[in-house]
Amino acid sequence: MNKPQAAFLASLLLTFSSLVALLHFINNRLIAAGYDVSRLILIGLPESNLTMADVQSTLSNLRTVDIPGFGTYDLLELASSPAVLITTAIVVATAFYVKVLHTGRAKPLNPDAWQEYPLEKKIVVSHNTAIYRFSLPHQQDVLGLPVGQHISVSAEINGKDIIRSYTPVSNDDDRGHFDLLIKSYEKGNVSRHFAQLKLGDKIRVKGPKGNFQYSPGLADHISMIAGGTGITPMIQIIRAALRNPFDKTTVTLIYANVNEEDILLKDDLEELLDVHEAKFKIFYVLNNPPAGWKGGVGFVTKEHIQEHLPNPATTNSKLLICGPPPMVGAMKKNLEELKYPAPRTVSKLVDQ
């Protein structure tokens, strides 16, 4: 929960508590003045045969209610307890936030038409990698990309339109913009185009795209193999699975890179690992590990896969792969030899 969300919940809770206190104050003043509050709403309605003794008898029955397996409880005292009132306020505030405030405006993505978005900010991650932040039409807009899907980006290079697929590392909690993590390659077309963008320059985007979409309960376990910038679609799914307290899905990620400094979004991954250690595991693999390295060395092997990722053929699990084409090809061969089902490729990194 970010600061604006926490402030909103706190203010709503304070307002709710104030209204409850005001209601009790007005009720006490009316009683002191000789008014029976319970009869005020009956003005203009026919008299009922219900007597105060009947009401008191019903209320008395609620003070000793036997709940099988839990014991005997005073429901009147329980319902008026501060804990119940606070919990009710939090539930109402959360529902209001999700249904009203968190829906955002109309989602700007269009799967059939190119939309243009200006570069708002460039955040340098390493010598050849950066996060590019693009503005949405309104500061309350959300991109509206389903979890597990990606967008198509079009760039005119040497007179030709080149299209590549990217998955934002931002999500719909981020309003007014979306972020793309892009590593520039010497022979890359679109990735070099990004590196040359200036603030205010626009890119053309179309989406959502993709055949895979994550939803809670999709599987008991999600296995992932990612290489380099292939982490971008993976972290989108990881965040979605972990931030939902009702989603019991566990996730294991094998993440391969050349050097330790090449591990993208490592701080984000380590933070998720610290907070959700019971649901999330990471196994790093490096081609050139530093001294004392405790992860995998070289390429991702069959042994790495067999040790860390369950076989979807014998478990309720899914296996996702995203990385450079040579790596994806090698992983598919490893999985075939292990008799794992053919994996699902989340996004193809042909030229990033």
> Which tokens go with 36?
């029976």
Rounded-to-integer distance, Cα 309 and Cα 303, Å: 10
In this structure, what token pair is assigned to residue 13?
A: 């809770």
Please pick, among 150, 177, 221, 304, the residue that the annotation labels catalytic.
150
CA angle 79, 88, 248 (to 5 degrees): 115
Annotated active-site residue in 117, 129, 132, 167: 167
167 a catalytic residue: yes
- Does the annotation count 185 as an active-site position? no
Question: Residues 117, 129, 132, 166: which is the catalytic one?
Answer: 166
- Whether 214 sits among the annotated catalytic residues: the reply is no
Query: Is 141 buried (19+), middle (13-18) or exposed (0-12) by CB count in 10 A?
Result: buried
Please say whether the beta carbons of 212 and 346 come within 8 A. yes
Token reading at 62:
């609620």
**Cβ atoms of 179 and 130 closer than 8 Å:** no
Q: Which of 177, 185, 232, 322 is catalytic?
A: 322
Whether 138 sits among the annotated catalytic residues: the reply is: no
> How far, in Å, CA of 147 to CA of 179, rounded?
15
Question: What phi-psi label fits residue 230: left (phi over 0), alpha (psi between -120 and 50 degrees) or beta?
Answer: alpha
Active-site amino acid positions = 150, 166-167, 322
